[in-house]
Amino acid sequence: MSSWAIVALVAIVIWGIVETVRARAGIVTDEDGNQKVVPREDQRTPAELEAARREIAELRERVKVLERIATDGNTSDARERARIAAEIEALRGLPTPDPAMRKEQSE
């Protein structure tokens, strides 16, 4: 087989792959060569769509809670609680490292 035959064969295979991908994406070509996307029918039932919407709403609520937890340590109340907890531990006689010291040790 000559090298030109191999090149032609590879070109045909690549053309076939491109056409397959276009067909899966819903892209069609009219007589003039213009391409347009044909909207597909949604295969999901209304119950499945509602379940997906509920799940998204639940996930948004979880993200809000996680954001609140992540930023809670930055409030003055959280710092006050940490200070009181450290003071209680100091009164018990247990050595507790300073938060700045903990940060340096972890780095």
**Domain boundary assignment for the chain:** 1-40
Cβ neighbours around 33 below 10 Å, total:
6
For 73-94, the pLDDT digits (tens) are: 667 777 888 888 888 888 887 6
Handedness of CA 8, 11, 17, 20 (dihedral sign): negative
Instruction: Provide the 3-class DSSP secondary structure of residue 58.
Output: helix
User: CA 49 to CA 53: how far, in whole Å?
Assistant: 6
pTM: 0.38
Instruction: Tell me which DSSP letter residue 28 carries.
Output: E
Predicted pLDDT of residue 61: 93
Do residues 97 and 106 touch, judged by C-beta distance below 8 A?
A: no
Q: Which residues of the chain, if any, have pLDDT below 70?
A: 73-74, 94-107
Q: From 80, 86, 84, 81, select the one nearest 99 (Cα to Cα).
A: 86
